[in-house]
């Protein structure tokens, strides 16, 4: 093992020791309950996909059959689950939570949320975003993925990102379409008008470098706008644009918006395909000018 590899292995192990202590994995019971981390994970899976065949549950959590059997026996004795033969295959057993099991998991889930909220509340807003983004990076990098496809991370904006958004819009659209500083000023005006107490944005990263962005702007009439979708040329073809749009739409629905609109131009064909796939429909268009070049302005909308 090289000295560099040894140092990296040591750092990962140190992080593991630190984080397991932070989230209380080393305690006898998770969240001040009588149940271990593995037992709580079993409850989680049953609460979100019950009834579940025991073989699928074992494969999902990569558990030894005997170990899972002991956990289920304990849950049975505690009145948390009900086991029965599968209607499709009598050789198989399915498990579902009882009312008591559902209530037990709901209580543990509330405790977990409160614990994570307490953990985050000790950090300033910018550091919360940095922490969550770093966690997303770890999850993405260590998740199985297709060979040859680099992982990317979607995270909230941090200090410095808004300046990058303006700069890259100006540089990319000048290089690719000949649009000038007036377009960059337009983007700067949109950025200046953001209110991130009610609006939202997402930054895509590939290899720790910014690779794309999109923003959500809430309006007062039950509508919202999708704004400033951009993907770096080096990151195109990875599904980042589609993923950014999906995140924006998910947020709009969670925010109770009835409709979301966007402004684009007909020459931005890749972006238009993403919008059409997401369900947007052309609402109107007209001729315009950008840096002496004629463009077709388009407005698209999607009822949520």
Full 3-state SS string of 135-199: HHHHHHHHCCCCCCCCCEEEECCCCCHHHHHHHHHHHHHHHHHCCCHHHHHHHHHHHHCCCCCCC
Q: Are strands 81-85 and 52-53 parallel, antiparallel or unpaired?
A: unpaired
pTM: predicted TM-score of the whole model, two decimal places = 0.55
d(CA 239, CA 33): 41
**What is the three-class DSSP state of 78?**
coil
- Structural domains in the chain plus CATH codes: 3-122 (1.10.10.10), 136-303 (3.40.630.30)
If you compute the radius of gyration of the chain from its CA atoms, what whole number of angstroms results? 24
Instruction: Kindly give, in sequence order, each residue whose CB lies less than 8 Å from that of residue 298, ignoring residues fewer than 6 positions away.
Output: 263, 264, 265, 266, 272, 282, 284, 285
Q: Where are the beta strands (DSSP E) in the chain?
A: 52-53, 81-85, 93-97, 152-155, 200-206, 209-218, 223-231, 259-265, 281-290, 293-303
Per-residue pLDDT of the chain (304 residues; tens, 9 = 90+): 777 788 888 888 888 888 888 877 666 677 788 888 889 999 988 988 768 888 888 888 888 989 999 999 999 999 999 988 877 777 888 999 999 999 999 999 898 888 888 888 888 877 887 787 778 777 767 766 554 456 788 999 999 999 999 999 999 999 999 998 999 999 999 999 999 999 999 999 987 889 999 999 999 889 999 999 999 998 888 889 999 999 999 999 999 999 999 999 999 999 999 999 999 999 999 999 998 889 999 999 999 8
DSSP classification of residue 291: T
């Amino acid at each position: 093992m090289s000295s560099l590899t040894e140092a990296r292995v040591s750092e990962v192990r140190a992080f593991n020791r630190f984080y397991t202590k932070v989230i209380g994995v080393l305690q006898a019971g998770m969240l001040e309950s009588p149940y271990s981390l593995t037992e709580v994970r079993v409850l989680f899976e049953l609460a979100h996909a019950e009834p579940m065949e025991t073989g699928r549950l074992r494969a999902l959590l990569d558990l030894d059959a005997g170990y899972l059997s002991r956990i289920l026996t304990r849950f049975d004795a505690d009145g948390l689950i009900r086991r029965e033969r599968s209607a499709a295959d009598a050789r198989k057993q399915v498990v579902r939570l009882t009312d008591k099991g559902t209530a037990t998991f709901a209580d543990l889930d509330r405790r977990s949320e409160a614990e994570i909220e307490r953990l985050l509340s000790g950090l300033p807003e910018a550091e919360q975003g940095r922490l969550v983004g770093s966690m997303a990076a770890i999850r993405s990098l260590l998740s199985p993925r297709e060979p040859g496809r680099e992982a990317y991370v979607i995270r909230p904006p941090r200090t410095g990102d808004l300046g990058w958004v303006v700069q890259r819009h100006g540089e990319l659209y000048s290089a690719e379409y000949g649009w000038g500083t007036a377009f960059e000023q337009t983007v700067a005006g949109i950025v200046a008008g953001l209110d991130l107490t009610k609006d939202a944005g997402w930054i895509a990263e590939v290899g720790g470098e910014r690779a794309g962005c999109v923003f959500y702007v809430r309006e007062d009439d039950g509508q919202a706008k999708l704004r400033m979708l951009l993907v770096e040329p080096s990151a195109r073809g990875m599904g980042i644009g589609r993923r950014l749009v999906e995140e924006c739409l998910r947020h709009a629905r969670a925010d109770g918006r009835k409709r979301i609109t966007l402004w684009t131009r007909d020459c931005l064909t890749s972006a238009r395909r993403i919008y059409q796939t997401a369900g947007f429909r052309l609402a109107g268009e007209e001729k315009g000018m950008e840096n002496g070049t004629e463009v077709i302005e388009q407005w698209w909308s999607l009822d949520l």
